[in-house]
Amino acid sequence: MKELMKRYLLLLFISLITVSCSSSDDTVSMPSAPSVDDVTVEILSTEDFTAEELMATIFPEDGGSMAAMRPMFVEKLKKQTQEIEKQLGVKGITLGYRRVKYLYSSTDHLGNPITLSSVLYWNRYKLDGWHDIIPENICLVEHYTITSDAEAPSNSYPLEPHITGNSLVVMPDYLGYGHTAKEFHPYLNYDLAARNSMDALKAAYIICNNHNEKLLAGSWSLCVLGASQGGSNALAVHKFLDTNPSVAKEWRFSHSCCAAGAYSLSTTFETYMRWGSLDYPVVLPMVLKSMLASYPDIMSGLSEEDFYSDDYLAIKPQIDAMLEGKKHTTNEINAVFFDNLADETGKLRVESILSPEAMDVNSPMAMMLAICFAENDLTKGWKPVHPVKFYHSKDDNVVPYENVEAAIASFGTIATLQTSEDLDHTSSCAMWMLSIFMGGI
């Protein structure tokens, strides 16, 4: 796998995959400012840091999984610095970033008011002090699945805000992380994700509009992107915008970039049943908890325990404590599944987690769950107006490739697909990030 990754990285570096960020005809004549009156904002912290400091955080000297990407980031940042120096007619600038952590008002999965957290990034340079680089566009970036609050964007320094070129990047924590770490996270509830993300975007606009160097002056546009859970949530935001045309126009929406997302929960779970085994079992309790909490009327009379095997019920308290504590990563929680439930070949069978009734598609509980899944199927019931740029590996071992096949079949030519071979889920998400960094959004 390491040699394969090196080969793909080299090919990407040579080819510099170019993806344009062209706006649709709808973005030619725009309102002077989006409507943001329904959201309040509170800035928690503001900090500036250099690109070198970022590199030390993302690519530590001891190596790690991201080490192979460091040379490409160094080269790209060098070129960006040279371009800025040429534009300014000066030498010796230091490229950097501003990071703003903030709170904003939104609603939870039951429609109740709640305060959530998010971060906002934009490019700066340091010469005789810090100066802003006016962003060319806004990128609303949706993060991948996490179970540790330390990984929330407001508590970490993720790579995604720094792969989008000269963009203003908004990256929400989601309900259940950051400021609301003690709250429940409604995993893969797409309507909620879209609503919370749009509110984070509005709050970020308020911050920028009040900035003393007038960020976002000019013909900016909005792009939405993400990988894994972030890919799903990005498409959910896209759906919200394209089914509310006036909002899409107001925000100058251009397109979305969605990688390795579970766009159809029904398709995902049907494929899991066909596979018969799981590489990423933590998804099961996270999804079931979310559906039970998000749709109490549909799931009335059911409890989590009804869905599980006796073997899983024995370790359920441990898994629940890890999920609720928000101190363990998905890898750590998945390891508990495999340590306790894997068969003699090392595989984790679906039936070792779910009860026979839960696996019977004709059972009442399975049909109730299917209704909840239908509420979160992003491949049906709408047609994109703006382009969707998909990326998915045919050998994804966590989010089945059938998800993007269903989306492409439904959306038609407005959607494009870039695929890869022989890459697992994590590797394909990393490859997508690199393609965005090298070629643009």
Report pLDDT digits (tens) over 101-117.
Answer: 999 999 999 999 999 99
* Per-residue pLDDT, 65: 57
* Per-residue pLDDT, 74: 83
Q: Which positions ≥6 away from 289 have C-beta within 8 Å?
A: 184, 187, 304, 323
Over the stretch 176-223, which tens digit does the pLDDT of each residue have? 999 999 999 999 999 999 999 999 999 999 998 888 666 776 889 999
**Distance of alpha carbon 270 from alpha carbon 274, whole angstroms:** 6
**C-alpha dihedral (132, 133, 136, 140), degrees to nearest 10:** -50
* Per-residue pLDDT, 73: 79
> Among 46, 48, 66, which residue's Cα sits nearest to residue 56?
66
* Per-residue pLDDT, 21: 35
**Which segments of the chain have a pLDDT < 70?**
1-32, 60-66, 68, 212-214, 217
* Per-residue pLDDT, 63: 61
> Among 192, 177, 207, which residue's Cα sits nearest to residue 102?
207
Question: How would CATH label the architecture of 32-264+381-439?
Answer: 3-Layer(aba) Sandwich (3.40)
The neighbour count for residue 62, using CB atoms within 10 Å, is 6
**Distance of alpha carbon 52 from alpha carbon 47, whole angstroms:** 15
* Per-residue pLDDT, 58: 76
* Per-residue pLDDT, 438: 82
Q: How many CA atoms lie within 13 A of 383 on its CB side?
A: 7
